[in-house]
Amino acid sequence: MLTILIIFGMFYFGLTQFVLEQIHRDNEIKNIGEALWHGFTVITTIGYSDITEYQFLSYIFAIVGVWYGSISMAIILPSLSQSFNIFQNFKYRRHIFKYKTH
């Protein structure tokens, strides 16, 4: 689920930034690959600052992208953590029962 959200956000926000930044002559997003990279760094809130926006609407989409990424992570990570805890408890209990029977 998290992978789907990241890929969707990467394409949506990256391609939107690509289209919006083509208006400006000094844009840093030269091709689709750079647009997808920028979308990925925006929604995962990494923000390397190797690509920056020049258009006001691009700034707005970047802010929305950061919110999208933060909310996506906030929704997915607790369930992922719970699944990990369940797995660890099961693994621990299985390990204890294995030694109790001998």
pLDDT digits (tens, 9 = 90+) for 50-79: 888 888 888 898 899 999 999 988 888 888
pTM here is 0.68
In the chain, where the domains are located: 2-100
pLDDT of residue 96: 62
Q: Please determine, looking at this structure, whether the domain spanning 2-100 carries the CATH number 1.10.260.40.
A: no
* Number of CB atoms found within 10 A of residue 13's CB: 25
- Cβ neighbours of residue 67 under 8 Å, at least 6 residues apart? none
90 or 8: which leads in pLDDT? 8
Q: What is the CA 76 to chain-centroid distance, rounded?
A: 11
